Amino acid sequence: MNNLFKTPRNIAFLLFLIALLVRLSILLFFDHNTIAPDSTSYHALAVNIAKGNGMSKQKQEPYEKWYFREPGYPYFLAGIYACVNIFHDINFIDRDVYDSKSGKLNKVYPEIIAAKIVQIILDSLGIVILFLILLKVSGFKIAFLTAMLTALYFNLAFHSIYIMRESLTMFMLILLNWLFIKLFFTGKDKLFYLITIGLTIGILILVFQAHVILLPVFFVLMLLYYLNFRKALYKSIIVALFSGLMVLPHLITVYRLYPDIRIIKTFGCSFTYELRAYTGAVFRGTYYDVIPKDHTMHEWGRNSKEQFDKSFSGYYRSKTDSLNALNSESIISKRKIKNLFKSIHKSFFLTKIGQKSGWGLLNKYGYIIAIPLVIIPALIGVLGLLGLIVYWKKYLIFFFPFITYLLLFYILGDEYRRMIILQPYLIFFGLLFINRIIQKFKLKII
């Protein structure tokens, strides 16, 4: 029996089983058929794509195109839904079966359950890939313990059953990191890994456009590793080229709807920078009671052609300037400082995913369950900030997605679910820090 789990392959299988059991248990006993408000949009898009109606939220003709969301995650869901549709009809979510406050569905949708199960499998595979990554750059024990704690961590595991793009993003970022490691440590097939890295980044951009920052980060890491500008530039051009090729079909589709080259700025997403700025101004105005609380974000619901029109005509920009003029400089500065601390908290101290939290698990099942699934991984993750200070020079260059999200924390950190990719690496650095303390303690005893 002892020999059974001595090989990395057997350990990887064990980690996969543990991760799978934890996530299936959450689906069975803690999920209660929930779906987030934003998830209803992804679901509607996926149903239409699976039915051949394209990127539309409408439940009937003319199926007006809606590119407010990036297409990556809706198409991922649509692939699952199309398989389900062979055996069972897929349907839109009716208002009377959905409670937006609790997020509960009063009806079972087989396609949603199937999507959650697929995401659970991908997330469990991600744990295995994480183990293989860390096995390449560190010792066996640290790699195994990091993967095990990540597999058990409820706050991470829960995201895999949430119908949100972060579930796919997490897996793709871990996969990207593995390809990045293979590029470093494989003597041959360098071109293959450059191409697959480029395609993976392209998919990530289609899931969430902010991932375009992966391209300049990749160049900097190549420059630091090889200390050769031409070599770093050559590799980065190949990666950028194949990323662009992956995104190109979607851009062509959007260009047919709205023939303006400026759609490239947001990779065909009609949630443009101008619309985002306007949204931010509205949120600030309502937060400080400068404009009425009942001011709605009806602009989000407009069709994409109208959103592009208002973005590129200067409408959103002028509206944003008008709203910002109502706020004093001191109010805007306070808001920025508050957002900074909020982003720090939600990026590095993960306390909840969506509508669920580790504390909810604690209240329902007690400390026997919460200690291994929430408290221990969370505390080690906090210590990871200290471990990062000590060990960043040795390990940081290998953790491509981790570095990228560290750079993005102020922009994306206002929501816990976006920053989940940081947590496995923080657990890794936390274990390194604990190991360092133990070694020093042993030295003192001796």
The 3-class SS string of 250-317 reads HHHHHHHHCCCHHHHHHCCCCCCHHHHHHHHHHHHHHHCCCCCCCCCCHHHHCCHHHHHHHHHCCHHH
Confirm whether 9 is domain-assigned.
no
Number of residues in the chain: 446
Are residue 287 and residue 216 in the same domain, yes or no? no
Confirm whether 250 is domain-assigned.
yes
Please name the residues in contact with 333: beta carbons below 8 A apart, sequence gap of 6 or more.
Answer: none
- The answer to whether the beta carbons of residues 221 and 397 sit under 8 Å apart is yes
> Distance between CA 269 and CA 110 in Å, rounded?
29
Angle among Cα 364, 36, 68 to the nearest 5 degrees reads 160
Count other C-beta atoms under 10 Å from residue 401's C-beta. 24
| Amino acid in the structure at residue 219 | F
Are residue 200 and residue 255 in the same domain, yes or no? yes
**Which residue, 433, 419, 428, is CA-closest to 377?**
428
**Cα four-point dihedral sign 327, 330, 334, 340:** positive
- The answer to whether the beta carbons of residues 18 and 148 sit under 8 Å apart is yes
Burial class (CB in 10 A: 0-12, 13-18, 19+), 159: buried
- Tokens 């994480």 belong to 130
Confirm whether 398 is domain-assigned.
no
pLDDT on residue 445: 39
Burial class (CB in 10 A: 0-12, 13-18, 19+), 400: buried
Are residue 193 and residue 255 in the same domain, yes or no? yes
Q: What is the CA radius of gyration of the chain?
A: 23
- The answer to whether the beta carbons of residues 161 and 355 sit under 8 Å apart is no
Last residue of a domain, one of 268, 292, 314: 268
pLDDT on residue 294: 60
DSSP label at residue 163: S
Would you give per-residue pLDDT tens digits along the chain (446 residues)? 445 556 888 899 999 999 999 999 989 988 888 888 889 999 999 999 999 999 999 998 889 999 999 999 999 999 999 999 999 999 999 888 888 777 889 999 999 999 999 999 999 999 999 999 999 999 899 999 999 999 999 888 988 998 999 999 999 999 999 999 999 888 777 899 999 999 999 999 999 999 999 999 999 999 998 899 999 999 999 999 999 999 999 999 999 999 999 999 999 999 999 999 898 888 777 777 777 766 556 778 788 999 999 999 999 999 888 888 877 766 677 777 877 887 887 777 766 544 455 556 666 666 677 777 888 898 999 999 999 999 999 999 999 999 999 998 888 877 778 899 999 999 999 999 999 998 887 654 33
Confirm whether 173 is domain-assigned.
no
Are residue 212 and residue 283 in the same domain, yes or no? no
Confirm whether 108 is domain-assigned.
no
Confirm whether 441 is domain-assigned.
no
Confirm whether 288 is domain-assigned.
yes
pTM over 0.85: yes
Are residue 245 and residue 225 in the same domain, yes or no? yes
Are residue 242 and residue 260 in the same domain, yes or no? yes
Q: Domain of 234?
A: 186-268
Confirm whether 152 is domain-assigned.
no
Are residue 259 and residue 292 in the same domain, yes or no? no
Count other C-beta atoms under 10 Å from residue 341's C-beta. 9
**Which residue, 266, 277, 275, 282, is CA-closest to 302?**
275
Are residue 290 and residue 248 in the same domain, yes or no? no
Last residue of a domain, one of 283, 302, 329: 329
Are residue 247 and residue 295 in the same domain, yes or no? no
Last residue of a domain, one of 222, 246, 268: 268
> Distance between CA 417 and CA 123 in Å, rounded?
14
- Tokens 């969301």 belong to 69
Report the domain count for the chain. Answer: 2
Are residue 249 and residue 279 in the same domain, yes or no? no
Are residue 204 and residue 233 in the same domain, yes or no? yes
Per 3-state DSSP, what percentage of the chain is helix, strand, and coil (rounded to 5)?
A: 75, 0, 20
From residue 391, how far is each of 386, 394, 431, 442 by CA, in Å? 9, 6, 11, 20
pLDDT on residue 244: 97
Are residue 290 and residue 321 in the same domain, yes or no? yes
**Cα four-point dihedral sign 408, 414, 420, 426:** positive
114: Cα within 13 Å, side-chain hemisphere: 19
> Distance between CA 360 and CA 356 in Å, rounded?
7
Q: Which helix (H) or strand (E) holds 319?
A: helix 315-325
From residue 260, how far is each of 309, 317, 379 by CA, in Å? 10, 18, 50
pLDDT on residue 358: 55
